[in-house]
DNA sequence: GTCTATACTTTGATAGAC
DNA sequence: GTCTATCAAAGTATAGAC
């Protein structure tokens, strides 16, 4: 049984992802969370903005776990990237194109309207970039190139989400996935193209 | 002197792009447009949603013109793509990371909340895809591959916008631009890699 | 087409009893 | 921590005179 505070955070996360930050009312959030209205301001004295910031960081941390969950067991990074995009496409389809990135809508909304929230989204994106880059480095890619690939992969996914949700088609995600996969493959060191996922000699991750 | 109706559309476009659809009030729009409040419902009997739909289509048409404006005079499509991303990065920087895609924020907001607006964003994205694909075809790329490249380029740009606005850095746009440029280059037919922009024998465009 | 005024709803947020 | 009641403000939208 999740606590009231957690239920509010979960509920907020769902609404913000699907309807955006400005488009979601705090009353709607607490109602769906089966929480008393006053609890919102009890747990989040900073009101909607504090709730938004915590939702962003919480959703961001969960998505980072998902990245690791896909990359770690994969035989190599190329397969991991492919699986990542394929999984995203499947989630998109199953949710009727509602569930894509948990913070992209908020990120665009608040980028020029709320510094605290903008910073929260920036921290999350930075954590994803670091996380993905780490996996690329472990595949033998240079630090600099690994970060570029990570930024590029996340950008391709985010942009594909925008198109796929608007067009109601998984085509953009699939095309972006193919492109990202190809980019990662061509960035692998020669020796790594056959067994890129090998983690011999690497210290514990992160 | 622009008409009242046009001023309202322009004003709405600016606010929607920067603050999103739900985050912008109609009063704010007409006030900034120096238009009487009643004019809004005179010109847009469908209220905010009709205004939103027209803003989306209007902004989309203008951005399509921008695509053509960048691609047409470029010596080749590779240069065109590079210029396109560089221009976007410059606009982003000059506007303090406020002006990126005119409809991306709205697109994510309405994808699961308003079918009329979602359809408007879908039409716009489809027009951009067709427009960009046309330029790629003229460079000798197959119809199917040209569409894929167009989708991919737009997705990379949209996603890079999300990251760049959140991180307040042009790095993502530049990295995505480099990747998109490379993808287009490698898709060119052998004979076209030296003189890809040559439009000999092509019929009038669009 | 524009003006003033207003209806109605929802918003985020608070007070005070329990 | 939760309840009920309530607040002021902002939201969209409309009416009717000019």
Interval A41-76: pLDDT, tens = 999 999 999 999 999 999 999 999 999 999 999 999
Overall average pLDDT of the B119-132 stretch: 98
pLDDT of residue A96: 98
How far is A197 from chain B, CA to nearest CA, in Å? 23
Give the closest of B22, B113, B166 to A107, CB-based.
B166
Contact in structure between B91 and B27 (CB atoms under 8 Å): no
pLDDT of residue A1: 59
Q: Which residues of B touch A161 (CB under 8 A)?
A: 108, 159
Q: Does the C-beta of A4 come within 7 A of strand D?
A: yes
Residues B85-116: tens digit of each pLDDT: 999 999 999 999 999 999 999 999 999 999 99
B19 to A167: CB separation less than 8 angstroms, yes or no: no
Q: Which residues of B touch A20 (CB under 8 A)?
A: 20, 22-23, 108-109
Start-to-end CA span in chain A (Å)? 31
**Closest to B155 in 3D by CA, of A171, A6, A5, A115:** A171
Give the closest of A113, A158, A179 to B152, CB-based.
A179
Q: List, in order, residues 6 or more apart from B189 with CB less than 8 Å away.
A: B140, B141
Contact in structure between B183 and B111 (CB atoms under 8 Å): no
Residues A121-133: tens digit of each pLDDT: 999 999 999 999 9
Give the closest of A158, A160, A165 to B111, CB-based.
A165
d(CA A183, CA B182): 9
Protein residue closest to C2, using CA and C1': B36
Q: List, in order, residues 6 or more apart from B206 with CB less than 8 Å away.
A: B131, B134
Q: What is the three-class DSSP state of B28?
A: helix
d(CA A79, CA A64): 18
- Report the half-sphere exposure of A95 (CA within 13 A, side-chain side): 19
CB atoms within 10 A of CB B206: 8
At residue B97, φ and ψ (nearest 5 deg) are: 65, 30
Which of the 32-51 residues on chain B come under 7 Å of nucleic strand D at their beta carbon? 37-38, 41, 45, 47-49
Q: Which residues of A touch B107 (CB under 8 A)?
A: 162, 165-166
pLDDT of residue A2: 80
d(CA B125, CA A165): 11
Q: Which residues of B touch A21 (CB under 8 A)?
A: 23
CB atoms within 10 A of CB B2: 10
How far is A158 from chain B, CA to nearest CA, in Å? 5
d(CA A159, CA A130): 19
pLDDT of residue B200: 43
Q: Which residue has the higher pLDDT, B195 or B108?
A: B108
């Amino acid at each position: 049984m999740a606590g009231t505070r957690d239920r509010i955070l979960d509920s907020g996360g769902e609404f913000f992802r699907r309807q955006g930050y400005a488009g979601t009312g705090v009353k709607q959030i607490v109602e769906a969370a089966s929480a008393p209205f006053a609890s919102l301001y009890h747990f989040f004295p900073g009101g909607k903005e504090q709730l938004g910031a915590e939702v962003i960081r919480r959703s961001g941390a969960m998505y980072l776990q998902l990245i690791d969950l896909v990359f770690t067991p994969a035989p190599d990074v190329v397969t991991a990237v492919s699986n990542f995009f394929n999984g995203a496409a499947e989630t998109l389809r199953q949710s009727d194109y509602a569930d894509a990135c948990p913070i992209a809508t908020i990120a665009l909304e608040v980028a020029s309207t709320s510094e605290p929230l903008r910073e929260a989204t920036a921290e999350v994106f930075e954590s994803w970039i670091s996380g993905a880059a780490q996996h690329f480095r472990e595949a033998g890619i240079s630090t600099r190139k690994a970060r570029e690939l990570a930024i590029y992969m996340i950008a391709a996914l985010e942009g594909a989400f925008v198109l796929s949700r608007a067009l109601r088609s998984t085509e953009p995600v699939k095309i972006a996935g193919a492109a990202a996969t190809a980019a990662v493959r061509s960035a692998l060191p020669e020796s790594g193209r056959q067994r890129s996922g090998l983690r011999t000699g690497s210290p514990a991750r992160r």
